[in-house]
Structure 1
Amino acid sequence: MIDREGFAAAFDVPRETMAQLDRYATLLTDWQTRMNLVGPSTLPQTWHRHFADSAQLLVHAGHGRTWLDIGAGGGFPGLLIATIDPKSTVTLVESIAKKCRFLETVASELGLDRRVIIENRRVEALPRQRFDIITARALAPIVQIFDWARHLADKDTRWVLPKGARWEEELAATEGRYRFSHVTRPSLTDAQARIIIAHDVVAQ
Structure 2
Amino acid sequence: MYNQNQLENLLKKTDLYTNDTFEKLILYIENLKKWNASINLTSKKLDIIKHIQDSLLFFEIIQNPIGELLDIGSGNGFPSIIIGILCAGLRITMVETNAKKCAFLRDTCMKLSIKARILNIDILSMKTQDTFSIATLRGLKIDSKIESKIYKLLSKEYGKLLIWTNPPPSLKKFNFTNSISKDNKYLHMYTKAQVAQQPI
TM-score by length of 1: 0.83
**Shift of the alpha carbon at 1:37?**
1.7
Contact kept? 2:61, 2:180, Cα under 8 Å? no
Contact kept? 1:69, 1:135, Cα under 8 Å? yes
**Shift of the alpha carbon at 1:161?**
0.9
Q: 2:12 maps to what in 1? A: 9
Equivalent residue in structure 1 for 2:82, among 80, 83, 88: 80
Contact kept? 1:79, 1:116, Cα under 8 Å? no
Contact kept? 2:177, 2:191, Cα under 8 Å? no
Inter-partner Cα distance in structure 2 for 1:189 and 1:101? 32
SS of 2:82 mapped into structure 1: helix
Q: 2:52 maps to what in 1? A: 51
Q: Specify every segment of 5 or more residues in structure 2 that has no aligned partner in the other structure, as ranges.
A: 196-200
Inter-partner Cα distance in structure 2 for 1:143 and 1:64? 27
Inter-partner Cα distance in structure 2 for 1:46 and 1:35? 17
Contact kept? 1:52, 1:189, Cα under 8 Å? no
Which AA in structure 2 matches 1:84? L
Q: Which moved more, 1:21-30 or 1:141-150?
A: 141-150
Contact kept? 1:163, 1:194, Cα under 8 Å? yes
Q: 1:33 maps to what in 2? A: 37
CA separation of 1:111/1:180 partners in 2, compared to 1, >3 Å: closer, same or farther? closer
Inter-partner Cα distance in structure 2 for 1:87 and 1:145? 27
Contact kept? 1:187, 1:194, Cα under 8 Å? yes
CA separation of 1:116/1:39 partners in 2, compared to 1, >3 Å: closer, same or farther? same
> How many percent of aligned residue pairs carry the same amino acid?
22
Which AA in structure 2 matches 1:78? S
Inter-partner Cα distance in structure 2 for 1:75 and 1:125? 21
Which AA in structure 2 matches 1:180? F
Q: Specify every segment of 5 or more residues in structure 1 that has no aligned partner in the other structure, as ranges.
A: none
SS of 2:193 mapped into structure 1: strand
Inter-partner Cα distance in structure 1 for 2:190 and 2:143? 10
Q: Does 1:188 align with 2:170?
A: no
Q: 2:142 maps to what in 1? A: 141
Inter-partner Cα distance in structure 2 for 1:196 and 1:101? 29
Structure whose alpha-carbon radius of gyration is higher: 2
Equivalent positions of 1:134-173 (< 5 A) are 134-141=135-142, 143=144, 145-155=146-156, 156-164=158-166, 167-168=167-168, 170-171=169-170
Contact kept? 2:123, 2:146, Cα under 8 Å? no
Which AA in structure 1 matches 2:191? H
Measured on the aligned residues, the alpha-carbon RMSD in Å equals 2.1
Q: Which moved more, 1:68-77 or 1:147-156?
A: 147-156
Aligned residue pairs, count: 187
SS of 2:88 mapped into structure 1: coil
Contact kept? 1:180, 1:200, Cα under 8 Å? yes
Contact kept? 2:174, 2:192, Cα under 8 Å? yes
Contact kept? 1:64, 1:86, Cα under 8 Å? no
